[in-house]
Amino acid sequence: MRIAVSGSTGLIGTALTHSLRADGHEVVRLVRRPARAADEVTWDPRRSYVDTGGLAGCEAVVHLAGAGIGDHRWTDAYKRELRESRLLGTSALAEAVASLDVPPRVFVSGSALGFYGDTGERKVDEGAPPGDGFLPSLCVDWEEAAAPAEEAGIRTVFPRTGLVVARGGGAWGRLFPIFRAGLGGRLGDGRQYWSFIALHDEVAALRHLVDTESLSGPVNLTAPEPVTNREVTAAMGRVLHRPTLFPVPEAALRIALGELAGDVLGSQRVVPRKLLDSGFSFAFPTIDDAIGAALGGE
């Protein structure tokens, strides 16, 4: 199968590209510069430009590009960057695939569990409405930007991804060195739920979305049972054999992270109903499994 991937140099995109190629699929990568290799396709989201010729013959397009949510403090300028990097890119790709004489059979367009906002102790699935605040609003608009693909009759799927447990990047990429040094601890009171997924399962789930014709619309990509931050802290200590004696007070987080602290301290107890109902099986369903897989290079 010929598959186009945006965001192919990111944590998830890199792992997905390697997985697809290892199984013999042809992957073409969208790049924001002139293409220099046969497997590259030029695009410029800010100019709404995509070299559609490079997408010819693709049966699937997986769109993962976007500025990192936790890469910077949420200044007004960076919040604009977060929105524009997602909305402009999604709109450009959706319009591009819709314009093809032979469009792909599926457009997998990234989203996030931020859609649901703070759910407290309440379990939610894909039927829940959006929450309040910056991230829910961003996710709603992000998914709506894919409308041209949906309107063209292309099966469109929105993987709402949880916290990816991996050594090489994302939130856990920052946590591992801290916990390895014996400086880890709960964040705030630690009662907030974290909906996590092992990188191995994230990649497998994305491939499942490509292959499963019955899936469309939002699909939560998160392990079956979310855990509290206290439980995450305990699991990190167990797996790494380190003490976890250094809690980070809520006030300190708010000083360090600004508006982003509200989402770090918020609770998201999200379950993957559609993924499980479609027959997907998690290789690393528990938090200990996911941390162990990350340490083992999965």
What stretches of 234-284 adopt beta strand conformation (E)?
none
Lowest pLDDT segment from 36-45, 159-168, 264-273, 275-284 = 264-273
Q: How many domains does the chain fold into?
A: 1
**Does residue 137 carry a pLDDT above 50?**
yes
Is 160 exposed, middle or buried (CB count within 10 Å of its CB: 0-12, 13-18, 19+)?
buried
Tens of pLDDT, residue by residue over 100-135, are 999 999 999 999 999 999 999 999 999 999 999 999
R_g of the chain computed on alpha carbons: 19
**Does residue 250 carry a pLDDT above 80?**
no
Beta bridge pairs of residue 42: 31
Quote the CA–CA distance of 32 and 40 in Å, as a whole number: 10
143: helix, coil or strand?
A: helix
Number of other CB atoms surrounding residue 195 within 10 Å: 25
Q: CA 264 from chain center: how many Å?
A: 16
Q: How many Cα atoms are found within 13 Å in the side-chain-facing hemisphere of 75?
A: 5
Give me the residue label for tokens 């994305």. Answer: 206
Quote the CA–CA distance of 26 and 20 in Å, as a whole number: 8
Tens of pLDDT, residue by residue over 189-216, are 899 999 999 999 999 999 999 999 999 9
Beta bridge pairs of residue 219: 159
**Does residue 17 carry a pLDDT above 60?**
yes
Closest among 216, 95, 88 to 151, alpha carbons compared: 95
**CATH number of 241's domain:** 3.40.50.720
Domain that holds residue 142: 2-295
